[in-house]
Structure 1
């Protein structure tokens, strides 16, 4: 009888003893919601950071586009104003003083006396002008009808031999190059001609250029802008 009782106690204790497998399973189940919550929390944080980054990028892009738009608008207004000014000026009629001849936007004066290249330039300056600077084929063609005698123009190599420069400081370019045949030659070595550093229109049927002694006595052509 006692043996049966002991066996019954053993069976009872067997059923009442908690299973280690079941305990571990319950503990694992309790930890999973916590882990899921942490993952969701991290995802939310990353999402918020991403949204903030997108917002900053959007704001920066919009600000940059706004600045570019404002700059373009300013440039357009300036160009419009400049265009209006040019149109207004184009409608105004330019004139030249008495005794001067007008071509495009310039006035020309042919002297009635002769003198050296320097004398001619000084006279032009007293008239608010300077010796003529030829910078177009149209101007060269016009001057061929403006004078038929040897006439000083505003070109020389007085500062440096062989470097031809206009009185306004610009250098002579091949584009507007109207030298007579075999010119310039600096006197071609003939002593009686001396150094030839100043330029004149040949005249007498030719509008081409020749280098000549700056002290020679010739007519001269002055040029200045036409006035509104």
Structure 2
């Protein structure tokens, strides 16, 4: 029996695996899954961004609210201070107006011709009287008041010099420490602070009982001194009053 051989050649060009350009159900699934994954990641990023923006917004809003409250409080404080300053300004203006009126009044008076009663001497706008008799400090003050004035209160160097033209002997002035020993005050209540060039001689009699308590002051023009003396000593006195 004759044998028959069949030559079958294998075609390598035929492959069971699909080519790279081949499309099919598996390729479509992969693309779908990749798109879903990308969308999922994008959603996560978007959600994270929204959460960050939300937290940042609330933080910023709280911070802005605090800043607003602080600014509001400062503004109210500034308005209060401004109101107080305006009131003070108005008071100062009113005071300035009153002082201006008073200055004008005094200037008007100073322009008027000033005269003093007979026996008195004038200096600036003040009249001075040197007594022609002697007596105690209290008697001198009583006499001055009876003439519409009081014992002289020295408050300037010019006045001190003028008084030296009135007298050259011991003369009572309106200064004493009767209320409190060692605390010398003028009869208008002001404390003695300056002597306007005079030497202040106060020793309360040096403790010698012969002189007693020396609680009243007098001028000593010949030595340029103010001296304490017993108020009962008999001296002349100087009165003063506004012209």
TM-score when normalising by structure 2:
0.65
Q: CA deviation at 1:118?
A: 0.9
Please report the RMSD computed on the Cα atoms of aligned residues, expressed in angstroms: 3.9
Q: Which of 40, 51, 73 is 1:27 aligned to?
A: 40
Equivalent residues of 1:151, 1:218 under 8 A apart:
yes
In 1, distance between residues paired with 2:92 and 2:148? 37
Q: Rg: which structure is higher?
A: 2
Q: Which moved more, 1:147-156 or 1:68-77?
A: 68-77
Q: CA deviation at 1:187?
A: 3.6
In structure 2, relative to structure 1, the CA distance for the partners of 1:36 and 1:188 (3 Å cut) is closer
- Counterpart position of 2:117: 98
In 1, distance between residues paired with 2:80 and 2:227? 61
Q: Which of 136, 154, 166 is 1:134 aligned to?
A: 154
In structure 2, relative to structure 1, the CA distance for the partners of 1:82 and 1:40 (3 Å cut) is farther
Equivalent residues of 2:116, 2:122 under 8 A apart:
no
**Per-residue CA distance 1:66-115 (angstroms, 9 max, x = gap):** 53663464256235414522441342124454244333343323223322
- Counterpart position of 1:159: 179
**Per-residue CA distance 1:112-132 (angstroms, 9 max, x = gap):** 332210111222234443211
- Counterpart position of 2:233: 216
In structure 2, relative to structure 1, the CA distance for the partners of 1:98 and 1:38 (3 Å cut) is farther
Bigger relative contact order, structure 1 or 2, given CA contacts below 8 A and separation 6+?
1
Equivalent residues of 2:150, 2:239 under 8 A apart:
yes
In structure 2, relative to structure 1, the CA distance for the partners of 1:76 and 1:41 (3 Å cut) is farther
- Counterpart position of 2:188: 168
* Structure with a larger share of its residues in helix: 1
Structure 2 unmatched runs, 5+:
1-16
Q: Which moved more, 1:186-195 or 1:85-94?
A: 186-195
1:22-61 map, 5 Å: 22-37=35-50, 39-40=52-53, 46=60, 50=64, 53=68, 56=72, 59-60=75-76
SS at structure 2 position matched to 1:222: strand
Equivalent residues of 2:129, 2:240 under 8 A apart:
yes
**Per-residue CA distance 1:162-195 (angstroms, 9 max, x = gap):** 3333222233225536237xx3343455554443
**Per-residue CA distance 1:140-162 (angstroms, 9 max, x = gap):** 10100122333211122333443
In 1, distance between residues paired with 2:145 and 2:171? 17
TM-score when normalising by structure 1:
0.69
Equivalent residues of 2:205, 2:214 under 8 A apart:
yes
In 1, distance between residues paired with 2:174 and 2:214? 14
Equivalent residues of 2:199, 2:224 under 8 A apart:
no
Structure 1 unmatched runs, 5+:
1-6
Q: Which moved more, 1:40-49 or 1:124-133?
A: 40-49
